[in-house]
């Protein structure tokens, strides 16, 4: 398992005409009897010090589900087995991405849920097609994100051409290495894989718990196989009507707002950090640091693009704010770049990794249409940058290979669904990676869903991170299948107060690991 696995994002509205119905799966339940057969999987111990009960297995799936007897690929699976007499079947878990490995997430979820609830499920983690321990595992262009990258904000044609060359080189490398595989790396194919996993587990139905992009994967699976869904819990919801270009454009505003929230937090603790008591002053100093790093990257590792990568992590999880603030203060006040380099290594350097980024681009670029005229990207991103400069161009270059992708794009499915049992949605109001509107949109598209809102919360991935109210709703749902109905306000069926923001680290600088930091170590960012 990589330290960071990755995730994805969402918001916005897709262009009219792109949404289509999901075609039926040719291979769905082919050869299966009306009663679920016993499991065909062999499990072996693969426990770690942190997750000693993990077991591992693998399953073959068709590369092309329209040709079930053709070429096969392999998915890696993990499991924490049920121990209670009352067995509620398999609970598949996914951390998002696309590109996130879910093997360790099974151990985390099984350990974080109340013991009585976890004991009733086989908690199943998996590496989706192309990811991690699954084979083949894609790695289009090793070292693509190695520092120091060109400044993400173009200062002229030369800067723009440098970033364009990188994006084009990555897209070409993917096509050259995996031309036969790329047409089958997409969300619908990954969702079809889940039903192969279900059959291999010998289960009539599965329950599913997904974070971030994992919410979209779960919604697509539910559209394909509504009769196979027993429970469906989705945390930090991707707007399924905005895949994917418009999601990224709109997401930039939300991340800029979270960066401003970080600056306000730093200003609140001016006595600790000495960066000013006015949030605008703090933010100006951050941009001053960015400019200084453009002229002279820290330790030849942290330039402006790497700085953005590092502080973007704070937009996903405010538990990182004390560490980021210390590095910021050391650089500005003491001219000491070492803490900043350390922060980059801990929060920015690994990102989603070469494999995770290869899957991220392969899925998103194939899933839906992207502008092929770079002039559209240039105009749109400069317009957004004027209002939200923190990560707009960084995000643009992260997704820019899709302008040159070697496979044609599919039409995203319409996940509207009135055939499911009650569904639980969990959403923070200030989430930057998957803004609040996405949760409301999916709530309206899933007729029996309930939306639990974390009021004032800004983190991405909120269940099992220490909020007792959210955890109770998730545990009750997995235990009983019941969801809250209409006790909240507006679109919310229930409301939980957000946890307070963190405080500065103690003088000894020993931060105590929390449930939130453990989860976000598995989720990573870019979601």
Active site residues per annotation: 212, 431, 460
At residue 447's C-alpha, the angle toward residues 444 and 448, to 5°, is: 120
Q: Determine the number of helices (DSSP H) and then strands (DSSP E) in the chain.
A: 17, 10
Give the burial string for 180-219 (b: 16+ CB within 10 Å, else e): ebbbbbbbbbbbbbbbbbbbbbebebbbbbbbbbbbbbbb
Task: Give me the helices (H) in 368-467, please.
Answer: 374-387, 392-399, 436-445
| Phi, psi for residue 483 in degrees, rounded to 5 | -125, 155
Is the Cβ–Cβ distance between 117 and 475 less than 8 Å? yes
> Please, where are the H alpha helices in 241-278?
245-268, 270-273
The helix or strand, by DSSP H or E, that contains position 80, with its residue range, turns out to be strand 72-80
C-alpha atoms less than 13 angstroms from C-alpha of 50 in its C-beta half-sphere:
12
Inter-axis angle of helices 374-387 and 392-399, nearest 10: 160
* Degrees to nearest 5, angle at CA 294 with 288 and 296: 105
CA dihedral 261, 496, 461, 509 (to 10 degrees): 60
What is the C-alpha separation between 216 and 97, in angstroms, rounded? 10
Locate 386 and state its tokens.
């004027």
């Amino acid at each position: 398992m990589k330290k960071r696995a990755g995730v994805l994002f969402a918001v916005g509205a897709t262009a009219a005409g792109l949404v289509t119905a999901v075609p039926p799966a040719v291979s769905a339940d082919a050869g299966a009897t009306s009663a679920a057969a016993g499991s065909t999987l062999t499990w072996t111990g693969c426990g770690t010090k942190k997750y000693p009960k993990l077991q591992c297995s693998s399953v073959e799936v068709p590369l092309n589900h329209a040709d079930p007897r053709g070429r096969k690929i392999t998915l890696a699976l993990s499991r924490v087995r049920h121990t209670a007499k009352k067995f509620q079947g398999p609970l598949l878990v996914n951390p998002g991405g696309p590109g996130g490995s879910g093997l360790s997430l099974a151990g985390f979820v099984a350990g974080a849920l109340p013991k009585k609830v976890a004991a009733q499920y086989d908690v199943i983690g998996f590496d989706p097609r192309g990811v991690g321990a699954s084979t083949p595992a894609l790695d289009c262009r090793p070292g693509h994100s190695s520092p120091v990258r060109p400044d993400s904000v173009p200062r002229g044609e030369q800067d723009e051409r440098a970033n364009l060359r990188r994006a084009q080189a990555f897209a070409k490398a993917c096509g050259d290495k995996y031309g036969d595989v790329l047409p089958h790396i997409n969300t619908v194919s990954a969702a079809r894989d889940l039903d192969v996993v279900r059959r291999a587990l010998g289960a009539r139905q599965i329950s599913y718990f997904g974070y971030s992009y994992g919410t979209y994967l779960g919604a697509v699976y539910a559209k394909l196989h509504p009769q196979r869904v027993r429970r469906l819990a989705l945390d930090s919801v991707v707007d399924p009507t905005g895949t994917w270009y418009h999601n990224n454009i709109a997401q930039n505003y939300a991340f800029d707002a979270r960066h401003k929230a970080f600056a306000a937090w730093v200003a609140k603790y001016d006595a600790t950090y000495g960066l000013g008591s006015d949030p605008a002053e703090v933010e100006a100093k951050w941009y001053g640091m960015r400019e200084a790093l453009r002229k002279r990257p820290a330790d030849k590792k942290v330039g402006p693009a790497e700085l953005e990568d590092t502080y973007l992590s704070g937009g996903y999880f405010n538990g990182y704010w004390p560490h980021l603030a210390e590095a910021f203060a050391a650089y500005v006040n003491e001219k000491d770049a070492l803490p900043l380099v350390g922060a980059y290594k801990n929060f920015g350097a690994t990102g989603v990794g070469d494999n995770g980024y290869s899957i991220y681009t392969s899925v998103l670029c194939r899933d839906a249409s992207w502008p092929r005229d770079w002039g559209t990207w240039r105009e749109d991103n400069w317009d957004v940058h004027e209002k939200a400069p923190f990560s707009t161009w960084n995000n643009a270059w992260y997704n820019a290979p899709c302008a040159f992708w070697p496979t044609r794009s599919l039409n995203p499915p319409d996940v509207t669904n009135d055939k499911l049992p009650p569904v639980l949605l969990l959403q923070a109001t200030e989430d930057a990676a998957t803004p609040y509107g996405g949760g409301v949109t999916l709530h309206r598209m899933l007729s029996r869903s309930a939306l639990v809102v974390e009021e004032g919360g800004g983190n991405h991935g909120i269940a099992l991170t220490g909020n007792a109210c959210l955890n109770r709703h998730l545990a009750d749902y997995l235990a009983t299948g019941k969801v809250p109905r209409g006790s909240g306000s507006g679109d919310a069926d229930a409301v939980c107060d957000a946890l307070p923001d963190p405080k500065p680290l103690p003088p000894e600088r020993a931060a105590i690991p929390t449930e939130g930091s453990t989860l976000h170590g598995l989720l990573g960012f870019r979601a």
